[in-house]
Amino acid sequence: MTDTYLNLVNTGFTKKLAKQLGLPRPAVLRRHRPGAPLVPGPVVVLDDAASEKDADTVAQQLLDWDLDVRRHAGPEERFGAAVVVLTEVASPEDLSAPVLALGPVLKRLAPGGRVVVVSRPAAGATSPAAAAARQGIDGVVRSLAKELRGGATGNGIVLADGVAPSAPSAVGALRFLLSGRSAFVDGQLVEVDSDAGELPTDWERPLDGRVAVVTGAARGIGAAIARTLAGQGATVVAVDVPAAGDALAKVANEVHGTALQLDITATDAAERLLQHVRSRHGRLDVVVHNAGITRDKLLANMTPEKWDPVVGVNVMAPLRITDALLVSEALGEAPRVVCLASTSGIAGNRGQTNYAASKGGVIGMVQASAPALAAAGGTINAVAPGFIETDMTARIPFATREVARRFNSLQQGGQPVDVAETIAFLASPQAGGINGRTLRVCGQNMVGR
């Protein structure tokens, strides 16, 4: 789907006109391109005094990635990214120096730049002051993200107490947030719960040798997920309803995977899915519960025909398939389950009680299933997309669509690949320490948290 306005304000005469009229000018986002640098310039690593050791660890990691790393922002420089390490703050007062040092850097952030703040959860703090400082960082991240322009984003990594900045998921999240793969992730805090996970040998193909099932893979976000997972090395089993089989075949062939025509709400769906994967590949490492439908109706006019299928496809099928997966012999050693939630499931949406019930349900399912997955050596997480340019959103009336599209910090809708990249990150071996979480891919949508 194309965003005509975005194209107009970024090219030729209309670009100049938009500038003079003071129209909002959404930037063309920096997305992952093979061979492009991880960040578009030097990276400055800032810290409060107490967190210096962790900041050094982070800086060393960045150096290992061949980045140009600075521990202080010089006067004339332009930065590709700023990483602020605040893991050991004990009081809100400690925020002053590092945050104020960050201020001037923002002005000199390159288009598509990144700000990543590394901190600890307030819940784990040993004193009210420390908790205040930690929770304060949350507010800083969400606010600075709204300040950034030129397609730059601001996000945080929240490391559970005891988890070092060198933990695989801390490193993985840092690289993800710095990279073009997180283009539409903005104003979010990625919570790392444990040291679990494993760094990949090849950052471009972390999913090498993994077998991944993607439901609803025939088109839109599902097709993008299949492509992205395959691009990162996974063998993809693309699943969709038989009626979408032709589009599904196209996707499966494109990614050199297999197509499985299956209605995931069928009673034997899990069995057939697992049987297919077992016979063809021997095991299953990644399941992406992407299949979803909408049947919008105000609750006042809601009917079972519009309620039941939405709940059936969006949350009942993932519940059943995940249950079956957990007891299956086909389950890989470090399984990853990634579900599709929605900002509607977080903030609600008029006319979408059914959809919000299902997507809110997904968030609950993910939280509750985390221990079981952890016990199996794996994780389960959700991604909550905001406004994404798909066939589905293209059907929204123009005015509504235009408002929904601009109603976020990046002033544009995301692309299916943005959701796919986040899912690929959560499905990767390095994300093993992130479990039971819902990560938004919404360009910091104004609604909800």
Partner 1 sequence: MAAPRTSPTPAPAPATTGTGAGAGTTRRAVVVGGNRIPFARAGGPYAHSSNQDMLTAALEGLVARFGLAGERIGEVAAGAVLKHSRDFNLTRESVLGSALSPETPAYDVQMACATGMETVLGLSNKIRLGQIDSAVAGGVDSTSDAPIAVSEPLRRVLLDLSRAKTPQQRLKAVSRLRPAHLAPSAPTTGEPRTGLSMGEHQALTTAAWGITREAQDELAVASHHRLAAAYERGFFDDLMTPYRRLTRDANLRADTSVEKLAGLKPVFGKSLDAPATMTAGNSTPLSDGASTVLLASDEWAAERGLPVLATIVDAEPGAVDFVHGRDGLLMAGAHAVPRLLARNGLTLQDFDLYEIHEAFAGTVLCNLAAWEDEDFCRERLGLDKALGSVDRSRLNVTGSSLAAGHPFAATGGRIVATLAKLLAEKGPGSRGLISVCAAGGQAITMIMEAA
Active site residues: 355
**Given the complex with partner 1, which of 178 and 259 has the nearer CB atom?**
259
Q: How far is the CB of 335 from partner 1 (least distance, A)?
A: 19
CB of residue 71 vs partner 1: minimum separation in angstroms? 48
Q: Under the criterion CB under 8 A, does residue 283 sit at the interface with partner 1?
A: no
Dihedral angle computed from the Cα positions of residues 317, 322, 328 and 329, in that order, rounded to the nearest 10 degrees: 130
Nearest residue (CB) to partner 1, 197 versus 257: 257
258 touches partner 1 by CB under 8 A: yes
Q: Return the residue of 216, 233, 257, 335 that touches partner 1, per CB under 8 A.
A: 257
Question: Which one of residues 19, 146, 280, 350 is an interface residue with partner 1 (CB under 8 A)?
Answer: 280
Report the C-alpha gap between 205 and 310 in whole angstroms. 34
Length of the chain, please? Answer: 449
- For position 256 contacting partner 1 by CB under 8 A, the verdict is yes
- The binder of partner 1 chosen from 4, 126, 201, 279 (CB under 8 A): 279
Shortest reach from residue 268's CB to partner 1, in Å:
9
Question: What's the number of CA atoms in the CB half-sphere (13 Å) around residue 192?
Answer: 31
Q: Which of 86, 105, 133, 238 binds partner 1 (CB under 8 A)?
A: 238
Strand partners, 235: 211
Q: Answer yes or no whether residue 162 interacts with partner 1 by CB under 8 A.
A: no
As a whole number of Å, the end-to-end CA separation of the chain is 27
Residue 271 is a binding residue for partner 1 (CB under 8 A): no
C-alpha span between 63 and 393 (Å, rounded):
41
Q: Kindly state whether residue 254 participates in binding partner 1, applying the rule CB under 8 A.
A: yes
Contact between 286 and partner 1 per CB under 8 A? no
For residue 279, count CB atoms less than 10 angstroms from its CB and return exposed for 0-12, middle for 13-18, buried for 19 or more.
exposed
Stretch that binds partner 1, among 52-60, 236-244, 404-412, 413-421 (CB under 8 A): 236-244
CA distance readout (Å), 404 to 12, 398, 420, 441 = 26, 10, 20, 14
Nearer to partner 1 (CB atom), residue 175 or residue 276: 276
x/- track of binding to partner 1 for residues 196-235 (CB under 8 A): ----------------------------------------
With beta carbons less than 8 A apart as the criterion, state whether 416 and 177 touch. no
Of residues 58, 105, 259, 426, which one binds partner 1 by CB under 8 A? Answer: 259
- Local structure of 333: helix, strand or coil: strand
Stretch that binds partner 1, among 105-113, 119-127, 260-268, 320-328 (CB under 8 A): 260-268
What burial class does residue 16 get, using C-beta atoms within 10 Å of its C-beta: 0-12 exposed, 13-18 middle, 19+ buried? exposed
* Residue 73: partners with Cβ closer than 8 Å, 6 or more residues away: 44, 46, 79, 82, 101, 104, 105, 108
The verdict on 449 binding partner 1 (CB under 8 A) reads no
Residue with Cβ nearer partner 1 (39 or 244): 244
393-406 burial string, b = 16+ CB within 10 Å, else e? beeeeeeebeebbb
CA distance 336 to 432: 8
In this complex, which beta carbon is closest to partner 1, that of residue 53 or of residue 250? 250
Looking at the Cβ atoms of 158 and 251, the one nearer to partner 1 is: 251
- Amino acid of residue 110: A
Per-residue x/- marks for partner 1, 96-115, CB under 8 A? --------------------
Is 329 a binder of partner 1 (CB under 8 A)? no
Residues that bind partner 1 (CB under 8 A): 238, 242-246, 248-250, 252-263, 266, 279-282
